[in-house]
Amino acid sequence: MGHAGKADELKATDPLYALRHSAAHVMAQAVRRLYPEVKLAIGPPIEDGFYYDLDLPVKLTDEDLPKIEAEMAKIIKEGHAFRQSYMTKAEAVEFFKRRGERYKLEIIETIPDARVSLYSDGEFIDLCEGPHVTSTGEVKAVKLLSVAGAYWRGDERAAQLQRIYGAAYLTPEDLQAHLTRLEEAKRRDHRRLGTQLELFSFEELAGPGVVFYHPKGALVRSLIEDEVKRRHLERGYELVATPHIFRTDIWKRSGHLDYYKDYMFLFESEEQGFGIKPMNCPGHILIYQARLRSYRDLPIRFFELGTVYRNEKSGVLHGLLRVRGFTQDDAHIFLREDQLVEEIERILDFAFEVVRTFGFTEFEVELSTRPAQRIGDPVSWDHAEAALREALISRKVSFAVREGEGAFYGPKIDIKIRDAIGRSWQCGTIQCDFALPERFDLTYAGADGKPHRTVMLHRALLGSFERFLGMLIEHYAGAFPLWLAPVQVTAIPIADKFLDYAREVATALRARGIRVHLDERNEKMQAKIRDAQLQQVPYMVVVGEREAKARVVAVRHRRGGDLGTAPLESFVERVSRESASRQAP
């Protein structure tokens, strides 16, 4: 494995790091035995497994993986010891040059030390700083998962490589549990379900990373927006709306042009530079500056469902989870420094309250501190980090510290949520900022009548709505809770002659604000029920002659099956009450 794949955090926290590191070497060794002409790039351990990037003259497919696994099994059985050795950089350059390993040569150029570390096992030797297990014989519970494309160092202009992913665990039982989780994740994949449930699509003609919401998906998104907007208004936030493009002058002043330029869409018009906004903060700053503010006005809480655009590389785009255009539940709070800790506490309470509404109950919280590349003075960073830490401790929130991972303008709290199968997702964020108020000269009139520097909090509760919707789809495997389901009830007449009563049922449901679909197709009842279940409709009501005469409905649930008959009025009341309760399915 190359030095470029250190993954220091995993190395420090994951007890399986050395095992997976060793598995990556065994895999590369097996590939070299089968394809001697291979050139090795990097092969780091990652969460739950490992990968190796390879330059091969043949294109591998998933069908080739069993052959590679079989060769790995031989290497494991041979029980070669992992041995570390060292070379000077000049010796290493000569060694890998003889082997034609151009990627290793590029890595060596980036190593600042006078000598480099290598590891060998049997005939295999690789540029690597470790750690490893004692021998290949310890790599037992391993499985190759897939082949994918990868660019050298993530650069689309660089060489196209082939990446083999694998999983490695201490025991076969742990490995099998992981493979079961992967199968469950595949079943819940929001991209597949988004097509099946007719929620959204990506259109080649429009370009990558921009989402087209179909009627059902747009409705679910609107329900999320309405819920979030209502809760903000209840808590004293003020709605604002800002443009999508600004002159580059503002991005220069904010620092985005210096620190975020590679992720911005920039263009010129009438000999002036413009940027499509990657963030909403400068727009909210301009609204704050529109008039004089008094200390009595603060805190001022501006809230916007703001759509932003970021020039992500096409290779990292991933369904709804990584897109180029997305909408945030974005707020910026302008306040006095003495109000800072109390306001952060309020935001923490608000964030946990909102995500619980959507059925998430397990959280991980991280405090990210000042990065190497940043704006603002050290004293302000001290105050900002201290305020975030104090609020977390005050609210008795357990948190991990991520040194150097803050935004370029301020430290932050990140809230991650765990889904139904235990995966962690980035969600809300709270960022404390002294730097932008300084750059934009944000002030308020104090009790002494003099101008004082305003402090600013950036925060989002759900983050990107696109990402959050993808998370919701996978958390519920497409079976949204009743209140979020785009269709809450499907009315199914047994035959056309019962359509009139089915229409009455649909009308009664709609009158209570329930989203209902009347299935009038000339299909058999069982086919209609099956289709409604595939669409994850929470309730189906079947009506025939007996139901029409008694003014009842035969109720089916997408999971509970046949629930028997119920008077129409009581069923309408039941669905209305359940929807209003916001309970999970």
Q: Please give the Cα distance from 209 to 93 (Å, whole number).
A: 41
Which positions ≥6 away from 513 have C-beta within 8 Å? 576, 579
Q: Please give the Cα distance from 323 to 310 (Å, whole number).
A: 8
Around 327, how many Cα atoms within 13 Å sit in the side-chain half-sphere? 17
Burial class of residue 156, CB neighbours in 10 A (0-12, 13-18, 19+): exposed
Catalytic residues: 281, 310, 328, 330, 332, 412, 458
The answer to whether residues 145 and 49 touch, using CB atoms and an 8 Å cutoff, is yes
Tokens of 216: 């059902």
The partner residues of 517 in beta bridges, in order of sequence, read 490
Q: Please give the Cα distance from 334 to 288 (Å, whole number).
A: 8
The answer to whether residues 30 and 71 touch, using CB atoms and an 8 Å cutoff, is yes
Alpha helical stretches, state H, 214-280: 215-234, 248-254, 256-259
> 437 to each of 24, 250, 376, how far by Cα in Å?
48, 13, 10
> 129 to each of 32, 307, 416, 459, how far by Cα in Å?
20, 44, 32, 40
> 512 to each of 208, 308, 554, how far by Cα in Å?
40, 36, 19
The answer to whether residues 471 and 425 touch, using CB atoms and an 8 Å cutoff, is yes
- 89-98 vs 102-110: helix crossing angle, rounded to 10: 170
Which positions ≥6 away from 497 have C-beta within 8 Å? none
Q: Please give the Cα distance from 231 to 444 (Å, whole number).
A: 27
Q: Please give the Cα distance from 92 to 85 (Å, whole number).
A: 11
> 28 to each of 25, 31, 48, 154, how far by Cα in Å?
5, 5, 18, 20
**What distance lies between CA 245 and its chain's CA centroid?**
25
DSSP code, position 290: T
| Three-class secondary structure of residue 200 per DSSP | strand
